[in-house]
Chain A
Amino acid sequence: MNIEMKGIDKSFGSNQVLKNAGFLLKDGEIHALMGENGAGKSTLMKILTGVYTKDAGTIWVDGKEVSFKNPQEAEKAGIVFIYQELNVLFDLTVEENLFIGKELTKGFGICNKKAMRAKAREMMDKLGVKIPVTATMSDLSVGQQQMVEICKALMADAKVIIMDEPTAALTVSETRVLFDVIRNLQAKGVSIVYISHRMEEIFELCDRITVLRDGEYVGTENIQDIDLDHVVQMMIGRAIGERFPKRNVTVGDEVLRVEGLSSGKLFHDVSFDVKAGEVVGVSGLMGAGRTEIMNAIFGNIHLDSGKIFMNGKEVKIKNPRQAIAAGIGFITEDRKTEGLLLEKSIAENIEITNLPKVANGFVLNKPKQRAVVKKGIEDFHIKCFGPDHECNNLSGGNQQKVVLAKWIYTEPKLLILDEPTRGVDIGAKKEIYTIINEMTAKGVAVIMVSSELPEVLGMSDRIVVVHEGRVTGILNAAEADQAKVMTLATGGSL
């Protein structure tokens, strides 16, 4: 299916999100749609699939002008959008999800379970994935849930599948499976629009790339003809320079040491340490227990055994309050569900973590509140209309800066960052790296959990690799490379 979008304008209120944006998709290609957060990628695709109506411009599908009124119409025409936040019913089974609203019946609305089960199995086989169709969705991994979504799209006879950040929550091996499935789809003549922030993936998977910047069409290139720097330049309109800013910090004394941490089936006998001014990267596959270990150190998951030492002294941490009192800050993996009070303002989010600093006893103090919040917004260059700006309406990068800001004023000795740059665009990523470096310069010890190998390799002094709940190796930055980390992360030994 060929799709052409031309001269697309779209405004929300007084805010123009798309200005003369365009896009050209050829039959059977994998086409990357790139741009920073807020560049209008998702909006453009939502206009194509009828979620939003365009203010101006034209869309042709196979040469015929179209304007879908809703996603159902687009689906009928064979265009399906798989959102980053998957659109699945978690309490239902795989087959129920696949057939929702399109149940096969024996007539009179009585479901033909046998036929549906057989069809579901057939579709899964076609995709080449093994997912039990009777399993409940919430029991599946994110990668498997995504496969169900793709399967659903295929059942709707999709000719074009749009994927928004499909690998954001996938493990390395799940990403492999996804890529195989995508190539498999391509071979069957399905076109893919692939939205992602991960440059490495784009170069590995895609045929062509279209870049948007500030809602405008920048250009389309064949992937063989360009390199990473060129794409970044197209996205941000200037060269970004070094991806990982250099850090010049002398590593100090030990800040955190954990010995033999174990918790149920989550992780066993985990030991490592972090020194002042040091960045320790934690690498491992999704589900290896990285996030759980961090939650346990922060008192959010119960420990069966093991000891935690801060500055050489053993500390008992049973809940986040004790962790904070011990000088630990924790920036969680999921800023939307755990990191932020989304519907609250920047001010309230920064203040809630720093209540003792903004109040005299129980009573909030206006000047103190203002001072802390103003400093946060200025120090972290948070792009907003002011302290009352609701966090919901901030871009991913700015949301993450709010999360950083609220912790940094607690003056932690140890800062745990879990996937600090997930869903953050390349410019904001660099700002976050710079903030991390500034923290270490002040003597803060940093643990950075990340699924992005280049980031772990580029930022860490040492790398702790976790596999199935156990530490399989601790590498110095100098000796670490992608292959070594992957070997350890998949259970191999060096």
Chain B
Amino acid sequence: MEKTKKGWGHYFSEYAAFIALLLLAVVLCCISKEFRDVGNLLNLMRQATFNGLIAFGMTCVILSDGIDLSVGSTFALSAIIAAEMIVSGLPAGLAICAALVVGTALGAVSGVLVTKGRLQPFIATLITMTAYRGFALIITDGKPISKLASSIESEFGAALFAGLGKGALKLGFIRVPVPVIIFLVSLAVFWFMLTKTTFGRKIYATGSNIKCANLVGVNTTKTKIIVYAISGFMAALAGLIMISRVNSAQATLGQGYELDAIAAVALGGTSMSGGRGKILGTFAGVLIIAVLNNGMNIMGINTYYQSVVKAVVILIAVLADHKR
């Protein structure tokens, strides 16, 4: 009637994403000297940060039985607002805070459309995705905003802004980039939120059975709005790191990022119909995509083929997940 013991098979499927990541990393380490270089591995982590932060927020949304297509546009719009504030001479700290608040609000709008507006998440966030990209183009008139760092007058502000994307902390003999630290701290925060807090339980309950969750007193409307707001916040945070790194901003930033984030969540074994999944799975999913990108670049594989390889890996991972 039912499975009694958690056997090896259980653990295998539970940590399938990590096993895949490990295999992939070991193979690449064996065949490529450049890949296993510490500098490259940190670089890989830094590259993974953008997708990682967005995917963490996306995990929460998907766990609540939603989806957020607007993250790429939120990423761009909040980054552009920060950039515009900076070039107009406002303090960098204020610009950063404003971008995060705007990102959170943009996410919340999607949440309100889904709950109060009763739109399907796919449609609701397709609408916000299109609208936010449009606003980003209107604000910038389609032109890039450059020389951000040099527009900041205060020394502290300049250091803060530049540090976000380019800074590094010396831990022992390695210099860990600030984005990687933000990435890992976010992982810890999301892990804590999803596994150790009442709010985490509410997210899972909402995604698992919204009717039941409502009847036991979970405010599912509020839960969903918060979840989309979190997703917006994470997209804005990633956007800030991006403009700090490249020292410019433009309306086309972050296009297609929503798909990479969804891919990472799927790779991590989170159910697309909500209620089931783990943030550590998403972490592994993000790293798998990053390792693939990095490894294939190092080995000089044609970028056209890279997409196909990525697709195949995602397909295999998702199929393996179905076999549970």
* Residues in chain B near residue A351, CB distance under 8 A: 201
A338 contacts B1, C-beta separation under 8 Å: no
B212 contacts A340, C-beta separation under 8 Å: yes
B214 contacts A13, C-beta separation under 8 Å: no
B213 within 8 A of partner (CB): yes
- Alpha-carbon separation in the docked complex, A330 to B214 (Å): 11
* Residues in chain A near residue B1, CB distance under 8 A: 12, 15, 17, 38, 393
B213 contacts A341, C-beta separation under 8 Å: yes
Name the prevailing secondary structure of the A interface residues: mixed
Q: Contacts A348-B204, A393-B2 given: A342-B215 contact, CB under 8 Å?
A: no
A343 within 8 A of partner (CB): yes
- Alpha-carbon separation in the docked complex, A336 to B201 (Å): 19
* Residues in chain B near residue A15, CB distance under 8 A: 1-2, 4
B219 within 8 A of partner (CB): yes
B208 contacts A344, C-beta separation under 8 Å: yes
A341 contacts B217, C-beta separation under 8 Å: no
B275 within 8 A of partner (CB): yes
* Residues in chain A near residue B198, CB distance under 8 A: 355, 359, 362-364
Interface positions, chain A 258-296, Cβ under 8 Å from B, are: none
* Residues in chain A near residue B118, CB distance under 8 A: none
* Residues in chain B near residue A319, CB distance under 8 A: 214, 219
A330 contacts B215, C-beta separation under 8 Å: yes
Most buried by B among A300, A342, A353: A353
A491 within 8 A of partner (CB): no
* Residues in chain B near residue A406, CB distance under 8 A: 216
- Alpha-carbon separation in the docked complex, A403 to B3 (Å): 22
B196 within 8 A of partner (CB): yes
Interface positions, chain A 343-381, Cβ under 8 Å from B, are: 343-344, 348, 351-353, 355, 359, 362-364
Give chain B nearest CB distance to A36 CB in angstroms: 13
A332 contacts B215, C-beta separation under 8 Å: yes
B213 contacts A352, C-beta separation under 8 Å: yes
A-B contact count (CB 8 A): 86
B197 within 8 A of partner (CB): yes
A353 contacts B201, C-beta separation under 8 Å: no
B4 contacts A14, C-beta separation under 8 Å: yes
Q: Mark A382-396, 1 if CB is under 8 A from B, else 0.
A: 000100011001000
Give chain A nearest CB distance to B313 CB in angstroms: 27
B36 within 8 A of partner (CB): no
A337 within 8 A of partner (CB): yes
- Alpha-carbon separation in the docked complex, A344 to B209 (Å): 10
Most buried by A among B201, B218, B275: B201
Q: Mark B185-202, 1 if CB is under 8 A from A, else 0.
A: 000000000001111111
A150 within 8 A of partner (CB): no
- When the two chains form the complex, which single residue of B3, B197, B219, B275 contacts A341, counting CB atoms closer than 8 Å? B275
A300 contacts B215, C-beta separation under 8 Å: yes
* Residues in chain A near residue B215, CB distance under 8 A: 298, 300, 320, 330, 332, 338-339
- When the two chains form the complex, which single residue of B201, B209, B218 contacts A342, counting CB atoms closer than 8 Å? B209
* Residues in chain A near residue B200, CB distance under 8 A: 364
- Alpha-carbon separation in the docked complex, A341 to B271 (Å): 15
Q: Return the chain A residue nearest B192 by Cβ.
A: A363
* Residues in chain B near residue A330, CB distance under 8 A: 215
- Alpha-carbon separation in the docked complex, A319 to B216 (Å): 11
Q: Return the chain A residue nearest B197 by Cβ.
A: A362
- Alpha-carbon separation in the docked complex, A406 to B204 (Å): 17
Give chain B nearest CB distance to A492 CB in angstroms: 34
- Alpha-carbon separation in the docked complex, A202 to B303 (Å): 70
Q: Mark B75-109, 1 if CB is under 8 A from A, else 0.
A: 00000000000000000000000000000000000
- Alpha-carbon separation in the docked complex, A472 to B211 (Å): 31
A415 within 8 A of partner (CB): no
B201 contacts A337, C-beta separation under 8 Å: no
- Alpha-carbon separation in the docked complex, A363 to B192 (Å): 9
A126 within 8 A of partner (CB): no
Range class of the B interface residue count: 20 to 34
A246 within 8 A of partner (CB): no
- Alpha-carbon separation in the docked complex, A332 to B2 (Å): 25
* Residues in chain B near residue A298, CB distance under 8 A: 215
* Residues in chain B near residue A393, CB distance under 8 A: 1-3
A176 within 8 A of partner (CB): no
* Residues in chain A near residue B208, CB distance under 8 A: 341-344
A340 contacts B209, C-beta separation under 8 Å: yes
- Alpha-carbon separation in the docked complex, A343 to B65 (Å): 14
- Alpha-carbon separation in the docked complex, A353 to B197 (Å): 14
- Alpha-carbon separation in the docked complex, A406 to B205 (Å): 14
B166 within 8 A of partner (CB): no
B209 contacts A355, C-beta separation under 8 Å: no
Give chain A nearest CB distance to B284 CB in angstroms: 22
- Alpha-carbon separation in the docked complex, A385 to B1 (Å): 13
* Residues in chain B near residue A339, CB distance under 8 A: 212, 215
* Residues in chain B near residue A38, CB distance under 8 A: 1
Interface positions, chain B 216-262, Cβ under 8 Å from A, are: 216-219
- Alpha-carbon separation in the docked complex, A406 to B215 (Å): 12
B276 within 8 A of partner (CB): yes
- Alpha-carbon separation in the docked complex, A329 to B65 (Å): 26
B196 contacts A364, C-beta separation under 8 Å: yes
A343 contacts B276, C-beta separation under 8 Å: yes
B276 contacts A300, C-beta separation under 8 Å: no
* Residues in chain B near residue A310, CB distance under 8 A: none
A352 contacts B205, C-beta separation under 8 Å: yes
A320 contacts B214, C-beta separation under 8 Å: yes
Interface positions, chain A 14-48, Cβ under 8 Å from B, are: 14-15, 17, 38
A364 contacts B214, C-beta separation under 8 Å: no
- Alpha-carbon separation in the docked complex, A298 to B215 (Å): 8
Interface positions, chain A 314-341, Cβ under 8 Å from B, are: 319-321, 324, 330, 332, 337-341
- When the two chains form the complex, which single residue of B204, B209, B217 contacts A353, counting CB atoms closer than 8 Å? B217
B196 contacts A341, C-beta separation under 8 Å: no
- When the two chains form the complex, which single residue of B201, B205, B212, B219 contacts A338, counting CB atoms closer than 8 Å? B212
A341 contacts B2, C-beta separation under 8 Å: no
Q: Contacts A342-B209, A343-B275, A359-B198 given: A352-B216 contact, CB under 8 Å?
A: yes
* Residues in chain A near residue B275, CB distance under 8 A: 341, 343-344
Q: Contacts A300-B214, A343-B275 given: A385-B201 contact, CB under 8 Å?
A: no
- Alpha-carbon separation in the docked complex, A402 to B265 (Å): 31
Q: Return the chain A residue nearest B209 by Cβ.
A: A341
Q: Return the chain B residue nearest A38 by Cβ.
A: B1
B219 contacts A321, C-beta separation under 8 Å: yes
Q: Return the chain B residue nearest A43 by Cβ.
A: B1
Q: Return the chain B residue nearest A12 by Cβ.
A: B1
A320 contacts B217, C-beta separation under 8 Å: yes
| Among all A-B residue pairs, the 6 with the closest Cβ atoms | A393-B2, A341-B208, A353-B216, A324-B217, A355-B198, A321-B217
14 A-B residue pairs with Cβ-Cβ distance under 8 Å, sorted by A, are A15-B1, A320-B216, A338-B212, A339-B215, A340-B209, A341-B213, A341-B275, A343-B208, A343-B275, A351-B201, A352-B213, A353-B216, A364-B200, A406-B216
